[in-house]
Structure 1
């Protein structure tokens, strides 16, 4: 799917106007191809997002965008590579963990996301869905049952330090419930654990959760975002169910190394934001399970700060370390 000529012209004209008024650098950056680094394999969600972004971004900036996969350590190998880049032509699509709590979870990693990366723009967000067995009670009655169960209930996640684990630990703190954690290799195994009666609750991505909820195999309790989500139609937010101060989403974003000049970051951010907010990109992201945002660097920084505050507190209080 190609962007209409009128939209491409509008973006180019906007960039040119900002450059002429001094809002962007006076130079003509970029003058050579840019490298877009992804920390996950081809076909993964971050990879699909990066490749969907690359084509219109090439047109907006007038240079090729070379997508490179540097896989490993949950995206931290790629994040470290980007953090250390000094060429001014390397940037990345990352998931929230790589840009926020990576160093807290694993002090041995060799980059600090809060000081070695620059936020460019938030691409898309999605809540997790709190799920339970199909016969579980709904709404506030579910939390009443969870409170009465104490630590006799168990919840599953794809492993220690994952967003499913941290999100549940945050919920335990906010809702005053005490289910025990059982780590699994991945979300499919978590789903099987709920089906088999080994688990009483978990947090799943909406793309996985909604299919099973609609098939009657799981009970959807609520979404972790501050408000209802179009990715999980019909489900209330946990706030609606009386869980105060609970707002957590998974997200992906564009990040640049600290060495990239601010003016170039601003130019990149303007182009990325315009593309992500376009109807074409919104549709692509929705198919991938994301609600498009297209924020400014400041908007992304605010999201990073909020995540670090909420999840960082849980990590430090419970001394959680990635395995």
Structure 2
């Protein structure tokens, strides 16, 4: 089994609670809050643990909230590697209204990074990786990090040589898709993100496959995955294009499907499975995740039950 290191550059302590109703101008009497560690890479490590694997979670942490973050990870059994943040780790707040059932999410920015802070982070990451391992870069960048920082991280790790799997969004994703990224093994995005980058709708599987194949040909990544929600997932590599089917399951919450996909996909690759099998595992974990409530990730029992029914097919362009 290969070593897995997940990287979360702007983690958060997530505070969740409920209130009878959420209205302006009044004190909202809330239930006892629950705390959890949040962030893309952390969720990937969490999914890997749920599915029976092991990873190390590289997180930046600062202040009292940073200490709480580390304690929360330890309580979950996730091996964390803390890197000092240039300020207090952010705390995000989610409040569910008992009256309407709606959730209100308040997302904080996190501490601001300087160029010197970014250089220290790159040095530390290089010391944490090796050629035999997998590195997962997932989640948002922190304030102050340049939009091309994901590209900078990938370039800086070429000498240490981990196989890099990237699942980011927004401007950093656009930057990655603008040119070649030697060293980027896998780039994953969802349908909305791919259409945003493409600048037009991608209504069919073949459209997504052509889009992903073009990114591979341009050297953006060795493998590009486009998640099409209930229509499954598309994978393009130099060996061709594949589609993995998603099952028709009752949807409770789509939150966490992407992180569950990346966790299962990465775990399969770390175990030496081929891309096709990893695609099946990722798609099945995403399917399992949408059946769970709120922010809960996939459940191993659901993953095991759904996996035999996740079919693969080649897409010929």
TM-score bracket for this pair, using the shorter chain length: under 0.3
TM-score (norm 1): 0.26
* Relative contact order, higher structure (CA 8 A, sep 6+): 1
TM-score (norm 2): 0.26
Higher Rg: 1
